């Protein structure tokens, strides 16, 4: 990133190859829509490009990138609250596409239940959960990304996991019994 910030345009390719798959996964876990994840990934790298001059080599690149990505995701979620998510035709088409999924019905139902429970979490808890669980960031790194304290991140994480346990208690009981 330091080389790219200094004007080495070839460094961008290395940055993109290293970070794009992880950021795309972050957006996919949050939205479950490949097109939206692609758009947010492009916006994140556009913002990275525009802000490259303000990058400080002493900062950790991962935290800086995820801070940009988290802001983009937050903006997308705000936009969605003010407009319809998907037409009935789009929802029906998605259901039809997922009908050919080779995974057993029970596994899809469990995955859907977990994803639905995650989607019901407040945005601040979802962001912490994604960064901690899927991006394997430390609480200190997440605090830096979100511009808050490590204690607040720990509390949000605890509350997110507690809420998920409450909502998925039946699913957990079924797995323990199996």
Rounded CA separation 108/70 (Å):
27
**Average pLDDT of span 82-96:** 50
Range 87-96 average pLDDT = 48
Mean pLDDT, all residues of the chain: 81
d(CA 171, CA 105): 14
pLDDT in tens, 45-62: 999 988 888 887 766 788
The DSSP secondary structure of 131-177, one letter per residue, reads: IIIIS---HHHHHHHHTS-HHHHHHHHHHHHHHHHHHTHHHHHHHHH
For the 1-84 domain, the top CATH level (class) is mainly alpha
Whether 147 shows a pLDDT value over 80: the answer reads yes
Region 116-130 average pLDDT: 86
- Please list, in sequence order, all residues whose beta carbon lies within 8 angstroms of the beta carbon of residue 37, skipping any fewer than 6 positions away: 24, 27, 28, 31
State the span(s) of the chain assigned CATH 1.10.10.10: 104-178
Is 24:38 a contact under the CB 8 Å cutoff? yes
Does domain 104-178 bear CATH number 2.40.100.10? Answer: no
Question: Is it the case that residue 44 has pLDDT exceeding 60?
Answer: yes
| Percent of the chain scoring above 90 in pLDDT | 23
Per-residue pLDDT band for 151 (boundaries 50, 70, 90) equals very high
């Amino acid at each position: 990133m330091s080389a790219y910030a200094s004007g080495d345009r070839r460094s961008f390719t290395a940055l993109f190859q290293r970070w794009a798959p992880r950021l795309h996964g972050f957006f996919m876990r949050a939205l479950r829509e490949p097109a939206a994840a692609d758009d947010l990934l492009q916006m994140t790298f556009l913002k990275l490009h525009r802000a490259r001059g303000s990058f400080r080599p002493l900062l950790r690149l991962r935290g800086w990138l995820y801070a940009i990505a988290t802001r983009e995701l937050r903006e997308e979620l705000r936009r969605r609250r003010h407009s319809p998510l998907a037409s009935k035709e789009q929802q029906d088409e998605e259901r039809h596409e997922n009908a050919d999924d080779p995974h057993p019905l029970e596994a899809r139902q469990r995955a859907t239940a977990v994803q639905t429970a995650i989607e019901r979490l407040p945005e601040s808890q979802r962001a912490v959960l994604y960064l901690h669980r899927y991006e394997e960031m430390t609480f200190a790194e997440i605090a830096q990304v979100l511009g808050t304290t490590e204690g607040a991140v720990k509390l949000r994480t605890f509350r997110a996991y507690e809420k998920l346990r409450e909502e998925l208690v039946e699913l957990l009981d079924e797995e323990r019994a199996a």
